[in-house]
Amino acid sequence: MKNYFIVTVLSVVLLGSCKKFVERGNVNINPNQPSTVTLNTLLPSVAYFTGFAQTEVAYITSMFCQQMAAYSSGPFAEDQHREVRIPLAMSTIYQNALTNARILIDSAISKGAPHYAAIGRILFVTNLQLATDTYGDVPLTEAFKAPAVLQPKYDKQEDIYNFMLAELDKAIAEIAQSNPATLRPGVDDLVYGGNMTRWREAAHFMKARLYMHLTKKGIASATTNALAAMANGFTSNAGDYQIVYSDKNPNPWFVKVSGRISGSAVFTIAPSQRFLNALTGITYPGLFDPRVNRILAKTGTNPQYLGLQNGGGNVTGSNVDLRDTTFYARRISPLVIGSYAEQKLMEAEARFLANGGTPSSVGTTAAAYSAYKAGIEAHLTKLGLPLTYSTLPQVDVGAANLTLEHIMREKHVVLFLNPEAWTDVRRYDYNPNLFRGISLPINQNAEMNGQQIRRAMYPLDEINRNPNAQAAAKPMTEKVWWDQ
Q: E strands within 225-375?
A: 241-243, 269-271, 297-298, 320-321, 335-338
Q: For 44, how many CA atoms within 13 A lie in the half-sphere containing its CB?
A: 20
So where are the chain's domains? 8-27+34-186, 200-244+338-418, 255-321
Identify the DSSP state of 92: I
Task: Tell which CATH architecture fits domain 8-27+34-186.
Answer: Alpha Horseshoe (1.25)
Q: Rounded distance, CA 440 to CA 312, Å?
A: 11
Predicted local distance difference test score (pLDDT) of residue 35: 53
Identify the DSSP state of 258: I
Predicted local distance difference test score (pLDDT) of residue 397: 98
> Can you tell me whether residue 396 is helix, strand or coil?
coil
Other C-beta atoms lying within 10 Å of the C-beta of residue 209: 23
Predicted local distance difference test score (pLDDT) of residue 21: 29
Q: Among candidates 355, 341, 361, 363, which has minimal Cα distance to 411?
A: 341
Predicted local distance difference test score (pLDDT) of residue 315: 75
Predicted local distance difference test score (pLDDT) of residue 264: 76
For the stretch 38-72, pLDDT in tens is 999 999 999 999 999 999 999 999 999 999 999 98
Predicted local distance difference test score (pLDDT) of residue 317: 82
Q: Are strands 335-338 and 241-243 parallel, antiparallel or unpaired?
A: antiparallel
Residues present in the chain in total: 484
Q: Which residues of the chain have pLDDT under 50?
A: 1-34
DSSP string, 324-347: TTSTTTSTT--EEEE-HHHHHHHH
Alpha helices in 340-459 (DSSP H): 340-354, 366-382, 404-414, 420-427
Predicted local distance difference test score (pLDDT) of residue 6: 39
pTM: 0.93
Predicted local distance difference test score (pLDDT) of residue 266: 87
Q: Name the maximum alpha-carbon separation found in the chain.
A: 69
> Can you tell me whether residue 13 is helix, strand or coil?
coil
Q: Rounded distance, CA 86 to CA 174, Å?
A: 34
Predicted local distance difference test score (pLDDT) of residue 32: 42
Q: Among candidates 435, 427, 480, 369, which has minimal Cα distance to 219?
A: 427
